[in-house]
Amino acid sequence: MKTGVSRRAFLAAGVSVLGGMAWAKAPAVSLRPRLRPDGFVRRAAPGAESLIRAAKLGGDVSFSVMDVKTGLILEEHEASEGQPPASVMKAVTALYALNTLGAGYRFKTQLIATGPVEGGVLKGDLILAGGGDPTLDTDALADMAAALKKKGVREVRGRFRTWGGVLPFERVIDPGQPAHVGYNPSISGLNLNYNRVHFEWRRGGDGYQVTMDARSKRYRPEVRVARMVISTRSSPVYTYKDRGDHDSWSVARGALGGRGARWLPVRKPAAYAGEVFAVFARSQGIVLKDGGELRQTPKGTALVTHQSAPLRDVLRGMLKYSTNLTAELVGMTATRARKGQVPSLKASAREMSRWARTELGMSGAKLVDHSGLGAASRLSARAMTQALVRVHGDRALRPILKDIDLRDENGRVDRNHPVKVQAKTGTLYFVSSLAGYMTAPDGTNLAFAILCSNTGKRAKIDPSVTERPPGARGWNRRAKRLQQALIERWGMVYGS
């Protein structure tokens, strides 16, 4: 292991190693440098290497911390080594989208008529055309159906079609994930409810009652594009089959219990959105004849347009809730704006990698998606921290990052902790990362990235097994404790 310390840190040499740091108590030793008679300096802060050894993570730990004003590297450990960034990558995606599309960009979903509307009758097809909106939900489709009625449309003579071709279809974000996890849905230019369907079950006297619906705050329309069968098998818990016109799921009866619910991924996103819209059109008295998904770019007149919130707000939600679909859609939309087309998710990730190396100076960036779900992506701690320093002055990223709660020595959230952190977390099994900004007790602002991974343990994971891999929970807990310990160290050494 190699830990590099800058000249500023070297001048504060002679650091004493403690078992831990209790910020809530007055320190026994002044945190300011105290000159010894022989000219050395002592500070009450544990060494970084001792913290890494104590965490017992195995695998690789790398970090870099820099002063945001000067760009001075204060301290590093294996900082040039590429590691899986997990969802920390979403911070890079946010910068890519903001730089390309602008903070005020809004995604559009439209109802397009291919013919004239005469006497309340649309003499042509009606097309629900997606614009890559990652936040489109059931409530929005209900509002669009109501707006169509207000436009005077009461009948559609042609067919009802859907179009999601503004972005390429991807069946999954990462093929290495279990089939049933809701954070790994399909991708399309037309998406609904983060491409998840709500599966709910309740046991009664005659067996289980099951619903599959597209619920939102106001509505719960049941759908047929995703269907569930309860099986008497013991395992696996879920199975999936593509039945052409619908997603066919089955679940093991023994895994259900009395009642419960979960979100499952949708593999037919355009059909899902189309079915739900047709429900609300019918509630407005407009009966639609299904014409399936349109392959070519629609031509006609936009009768109704739904706009998303500004991109800045969309990204704030993405960074807070770490929504993978949002990251992929905003990243691919940015690539389309830059290149005119997006052949695939991987091609879009390559373009973002090139942009990150060129515009942010992130040498060695090699990304396979925009969300960090694919563990084959690689970033280095130094490259990530340098990018954070580079963009700090324009305040594009820090205000939309999540406030990270630090904890006291008992593991409870410490609202009065003297170090404040705005950052993006990243978590996969045996991968834990954290990158962002911290404000030390004296007001010093630092940028940092901490990347931890044990790829050996991760390689042994069987994706068909639904349970958490043995040891993953404890490993992740130790990684998070290490991240806080390093942040507290930097606060004491460089900003007390």
**Confidence bin at 486 (pLDDT 50/70/90):** very high
Inform me whether the pLDDT recorded for 9 exceeds 90.
Answer: no
**Confidence bin at 468 (pLDDT 50/70/90):** confident
**Confidence bin at 466 (pLDDT 50/70/90):** low
Inform me whether the pLDDT recorded for 394 exceeds 70.
Answer: yes
Mean pLDDT to the nearest integer, 305-330: 98
How many whole angstroms separate alpha carbon 225 and alpha carbon 195? Answer: 12
| Residue pair 345/369 in contact by the 8 Å Cβ criterion | yes
Mean pLDDT to the nearest integer, 471-480: 96
Residue 16 β-bridge partners: 44
**Confidence bin at 69 (pLDDT 50/70/90):** very high
**Confidence bin at 18 (pLDDT 50/70/90):** very low
Strands 207-213 and 117-118: unpaired
Average pLDDT over all residues of the chain: 91
Which of 33-47, 98-112, 263-277, 347-361 comes out lowest in average pLDDT?
33-47
Which of 9-18, 167-176, 224-233 comes out lowest in average pLDDT?
9-18
Inform me whether the pLDDT recorded for 13 exceeds 80.
Answer: no
Domains (range + CATH), the chain:
3-85+378-495 (3.40.710), 108-307 (3.50.80.20)
Kindly state the tokens that stand for 489. Answer: 């160290």
| Residue pair 273/128 in contact by the 8 Å Cβ criterion | yes
How many whole angstroms separate alpha carbon 59 and alpha carbon 429? Answer: 13
For residue 3, the model assigns a pLDDT of: 55
- Within its chain, how far is the Cα of 86 from the centroid? 9
Query: What percentage of the chain reaches a pLDDT higher than 70?
Result: 90
Inform me whether the pLDDT recorded for 21 exceeds 70.
Answer: no
For residue 24, the model assigns a pLDDT of: 37
For residue 41, the model assigns a pLDDT of: 35
Inform me whether the pLDDT recorded for 321 exceeds 90.
Answer: yes
Nearest CA-CA partner of 478 in 425, 435, 432, 437: 432
| Residue pair 466/178 in contact by the 8 Å Cβ criterion | yes
Inform me whether the pLDDT recorded for 393 exceeds 60.
Answer: yes
For residue 463, the model assigns a pLDDT of: 72
Give, in order, the Cα–Cα distances in Å from 71 to each of 79, 231, 389, 397. Answer: 15, 59, 6, 17
Indicate the residue type of 137: D
93 — phi, psi (to 5°)? -60, -40
What sign does the CA torsion over 30, 35, 38, 44 have? positive
Q: What is the CA radius of gyration of the chain?
A: 26
For 73-93, the pLDDT digits (tens) are 999 999 999 999 999 999 999
| Residue pair 330/311 in contact by the 8 Å Cβ criterion | yes
Residue 227 β-bridge partners: 248
**Confidence bin at 285 (pLDDT 50/70/90):** very high
**Confidence bin at 206 (pLDDT 50/70/90):** confident
For residue 29, the model assigns a pLDDT of: 30
The residue among 118 and 9 whose pLDDT is bigger is: 118
Kindly state the tokens that stand for 146. Answer: 């109501």
How many whole angstroms separate alpha carbon 404 and alpha carbon 480? Answer: 11
Inform me whether the pLDDT recorded for 43 exceeds 90.
Answer: no
Inform me whether the pLDDT recorded for 248 exceeds 90.
Answer: yes
| pTM (two decimals) | 0.91
For residue 479, the model assigns a pLDDT of: 98
How many whole angstroms separate alpha carbon 428 and alpha carbon 434? Answer: 12
**Confidence bin at 7 (pLDDT 50/70/90):** very low
Inform me whether the pLDDT recorded for 19 exceeds 50.
Answer: no
CA neighbours within 13 Å on the CB side: how many for 429?
19
How many whole angstroms separate alpha carbon 463 and alpha carbon 147? Answer: 44
Indicate the residue type of 322: S
Inform me whether the pLDDT recorded for 16 exceeds 60.
Answer: no
The residue among 271 and 30 whose pLDDT is bigger is: 271
The residue among 259 and 34 whose pLDDT is bigger is: 259
For residue 45, the model assigns a pLDDT of: 81
Is the bond preceding 168 in cis, omega lying within 30 degrees of 0?
A: no
Indicate the residue type of 60: D
Indicate the residue type of 380: S
| Residue pair 54/488 in contact by the 8 Å Cβ criterion | no
Nearest CA-CA partner of 133 in 198, 180, 195, 216: 195
Mean pLDDT to the nearest integer, 213-229: 98
Inform me whether the pLDDT recorded for 68 exceeds 90.
Answer: yes
Q: Collapse the DSSP code of 214 into the 3-class scheme (helix H, G, I; strand E, B; otherwise coil) and give the result.
A: coil
